[in-house]
Amino acid sequence: MNLTVPSETGPQPPPGPAASTASNDSPPRPPFAQDWGRIARMGAVGAVGQIFISLSNMPVKLDGRAIIEGILSLGYLSLVVLPFAVGSRVGYQVRREGVPFHRPGTYEVVGGAACGAVVGGGLSLLAILIANFDLREPLVNWSPILADLLAFNRGTAFAVVIWLAVGAVIGALGGLLRVVPPLAKRILWTVVLTLFGAAVLESLTTDLAEGMGLEGPVEWFYAPRGGLTVTGAIALAIGSAVLAVVGRGRVKGAKAHIDSLEGPARTRAHLGLILATGAVLVILPMFAGKLTNELLANVGLFVLLALGLNVVVGLAGILDLGYVAFFAVGSYSAAVLTAAASPRINPELPWFVALIGVVILTGLVGLFIGAPVIRMRGDYLAIVTLGFGEIIRLLFLSDWLSGWFGGSQGITNIPGAEIFGLAEVSGTDPRSVFYLVLAFCAIAIYVSWRLERSRIGRAWMAVREDETVAEAMGINTVNVKLLAFVVGAVLGSFSGAIFSAKVGSVFPASFLILVSIVILVVVIFGGMGSIVGVIAGSAVLIGVLGGPKQPGLLAEFSEFKLLIYGALLVWMMLARPEGLIPSVRRTRELHQEEMAQDAWLRGQTDEDETADDNNGAAAGRTAVGES
């Protein structure tokens, strides 16, 4: 086997396109020698997807939300997403060693345009079909409103032409993305993301601006009926483009700098970052209004839940699909212990005293549920936790326990949380709720961070990796897993206790299985096992899209939330399985194949070497100097 090992690279060449150089590029392919079959296939898939999006009523519903006043609404944006994606994707070429790589050029643009036109053609077809057939019976959104939206109120013929054209243009833009130099691409993305971000964060920005007395400039950016003004959009675009050019590589450089630090300097840098983030989080809400604080508090509650689940799923590898049970137990036990209106027992304890009871109770419930569950493995365990999650909710709902928990009436008039007589935290004051949540998040983050680096954290990871071998190492796998379950339960119960004080009432309907799913999605989306990722995941999913019952910044999305969650998850698993902000650990593990190959190549050299000096040298010292 004559393998030439690339020796010019370091011990660990970074995987990905960055590593490959442009040295073996062939000239661009001729623009019309396209793979038409591939274009037709991808275009057809895109067209079907785009028709599905249209018929899900997303364009009509989201049309009310303007991105740029009078030019682009979120609804129309949803109609051009797929032509763009498909147009960009069709020109994608995998770099393979030994296979000529064509430098991108007009080929990509033409292919993108053709593919985008096919997707646009799907919408044209839809416009024709809506004009000529009435399928409102099975498809509720098969409506004249959708037809008008597609035709810009100018008749079917216009719709047919315009969507073919728009599809082609957008597809060509997608293709163009492969051709333009990195700097142009970077500017383009920065501008697009800035405009979109500014539009999405509109309510947040205006709210903050009001708090700081900066209404003037913000009114200039945002149109009175929502969306950016045209001048504001242009100003933002120019500003962000300049920033993209100036700030090129700065963030990465800073990150690399911090990563390169060692010992106390690195700890100091991290501590500085943490303190700065903490300071922003403490100061920001002071200027924010009720709605923003409400949103922040909701995000915080989910961060707390997701951190708890992260210990269970991310560290110990126990797929818990019924995590909402602990949120429910935390909420109900806090309600029973603090509320005067609690049906059977009502000690009316102050919140902090009640919290001790909440922790003990939830811990016990965690033990009680965990003990039978934990002996199972893999899918069986997941199914059983799913069942227990529902059982807990049904118990709270049942007539049997309604004397204790009020059945479907729930428990109402729960007092706010009193903080050592200093402040009363209740739902009417979302700012104080946010501060309370923030404090508990800080505790949870610290605990997870410490746990991950402790002996018990290592034991959890060992169990996650290989339970049998973990047992052979002397780890009592049952106890260790049970402990993870209980720690997760207690962290979730904090969120529950704050939730009941915030909302002032608890009902079984607040603890649907959907909550478990959403928390799990947050953890997976953010990056399993990564604390920062879990926080970012909550901010994006709960803050922007909205939680199971809480509206996010894009309140218009509420109807399509689950659809978008699903689409995001699928995309995430395909493109970035390690999550939004992965833990280093997960990245390694998911790109194991590349690294295994790397190791295999190295192993090959090792073996060759051992084979060479076969005269009984102690194997332990072979090839020490190598690599």
Partner 1 sequence: MSQDPPDRAVPLLEMRKVNAHYGAVHALRDVNLSIYAGELVCLLGGNASGKSTTLKTLLGMLTPTSGEVVLDGEVVNGRPTSYLVARGVTMVPENRRLFKRLTVRENLQLGAYLRKDSDAVASDLERVFELFPRVKERLGQKAGTLSGGEQQMVAIGRALMSQPRVLLMDEPSMGLAPTLVQQNFELISQIHEAGMTVFMVEQNANMALGIADRGWVLQTGRVVLDDTAEALLANPALRTSYLGGGKDDSDSS
Pick the piece of the chain touching partner 1 (CB under 8 A) from 136-144, 151-159, 196-204, 451-459.
451-459
Pick the piece of the chain touching partner 1 (CB under 8 A) from 34-42, 143-151, 248-256, 597-605.
597-605
Q: Which residue from 3, 455, 574, 615 is in contact with partner 1, where contact means CB under 8 A?
A: 455
Count other Cβ atoms within 10 Å, centred on residue 564.
Answer: 16
Rounded to whole angstroms, the Cα distance separating 294 from 32 reads 55
| Least distance in angstroms from the C-beta of 452 to partner 1 | 11
Position 259 contacts partner 1 (CB under 8 A) = no
Rounded to whole angstroms, the Cα distance separating 501 from 306 reads 20
Cβ contacts of 240-249, under 8 Å, gap ≥ 24: 240/190, 240/191, 240/194, 240/195, 241/187, 241/190, 241/191, 243/190, 244/186, 244/187, 244/190, 244/191, 245/183, 245/187, 248/183, 248/186
Position 248 contacts partner 1 (CB under 8 A) = no
Chain position carrying tokens 């009871």: 357
The torsion angles phi and psi of 289, rounded to 5 degrees, stand at -85, -175
| 102 and 29 Cβ atoms separated by less than 8 Å | yes
**Pairing mode, strands 25-26 and 101-102:** parallel
| Least distance in angstroms from the C-beta of 459 to partner 1 | 6
- Looking at the Cβ atoms of 576 and 602, the one nearer to partner 1 is 602
Position 452 contacts partner 1 (CB under 8 A) = no
Position 6 contacts partner 1 (CB under 8 A) = no
Residues 6+ apart with CB under 8 A from 70: 230
Q: Which residue from 94, 574, 575, 624 is in contact with partner 1, where contact means CB under 8 A?
A: 624
Buried b / exposed e across 48-79, counting CB within 10 Å, b at 16+? ebbbebbbebbbbbbbebbbbbeebbbbbbbb
- Looking at the Cβ atoms of 134 and 466, the one nearer to partner 1 is 466
**Pairing mode, strands 417-419 and 423-425:** antiparallel
Pick the piece of the chain touching partner 1 (CB under 8 A) from 104-112, 249-257, 421-429, 607-615.
607-615
- Looking at the Cβ atoms of 245 and 617, the one nearer to partner 1 is 617
Position 607 contacts partner 1 (CB under 8 A) = yes
Rounded to whole angstroms, the Cα distance separating 240 from 232 reads 12
| Least distance in angstroms from the C-beta of 97 to partner 1 | 20
Position 559 contacts partner 1 (CB under 8 A) = no
Position 600 contacts partner 1 (CB under 8 A) = yes
Which positions from 21 to 50 touch partner 1 by CB under 8 A, shown as an x/- string? Answer: ------------------------------
Site size for partner 1 (CB under 8 A)? 39
- Looking at the Cβ atoms of 96 and 621, the one nearer to partner 1 is 621
Position 469 contacts partner 1 (CB under 8 A) = yes
Judged by DSSP in three states, 425 sits in strand
- Looking at the Cβ atoms of 182 and 616, the one nearer to partner 1 is 616
Judged by DSSP in three states, 552 sits in coil
Which positions from 471 to 490 touch partner 1 by CB under 8 A, shown as an x/- string? Answer: xxxxxx--------------
Q: What is the 3-state secondary structure (H, E, C) of 25-89?
A: EECCCCCCCCCHHHHHHHHHHHHHHHHHHHHCCHHHHHCCCEEECCCEEHHHHHHHHHHHHHHHH
- Looking at the Cβ atoms of 65 and 586, the one nearer to partner 1 is 586
Residues 6+ apart with CB under 8 A from 445: 307, 531, 535
DSSP state at residue 2: -
- Looking at the Cβ atoms of 219 and 594, the one nearer to partner 1 is 594
| Least distance in angstroms from the C-beta of 581 to partner 1 | 18
| 295 and 553 Cβ atoms separated by less than 8 Å | yes
Position 602 contacts partner 1 (CB under 8 A) = yes
Position 616 contacts partner 1 (CB under 8 A) = yes
Position 462 contacts partner 1 (CB under 8 A) = yes
Q: In Å, how far are 147, 205, 478 from 143, measured between CA atoms? A: 7, 36, 57
Plot region of 346 (φ>0 → left; ψ -120 to 50 → alpha; else → beta)? beta
Which positions from 167 to 206 touch partner 1 by CB under 8 A, shown as an x/- string? Answer: ----------------------------------------
- Looking at the Cβ atoms of 21 and 468, the one nearer to partner 1 is 468
| Least distance in angstroms from the C-beta of 403 to partner 1 | 43
Position 352 contacts partner 1 (CB under 8 A) = no
Pick the piece of the chain touching partner 1 (CB under 8 A) from 30-38, 265-273, 279-287, 584-592.
584-592
| Least distance in angstroms from the C-beta of 611 to partner 1 | 5
- Looking at the Cβ atoms of 157 and 473, the one nearer to partner 1 is 473
Position 603 contacts partner 1 (CB under 8 A) = yes
Angle at 287 between CA 274 and CA 444, to 5 degrees: 35
Rounded to whole angstroms, the Cα distance separating 535 from 458 reads 23
| Least distance in angstroms from the C-beta of 527 to partner 1 | 14
- Looking at the Cβ atoms of 418 and 471, the one nearer to partner 1 is 471
Binding site residues, partner 1, CB under 8 A: 455, 458-459, 461-462, 465-466, 468-476, 585, 588-589, 592, 595-596, 598-600, 602-603, 606-607, 610-611, 616, 618-624
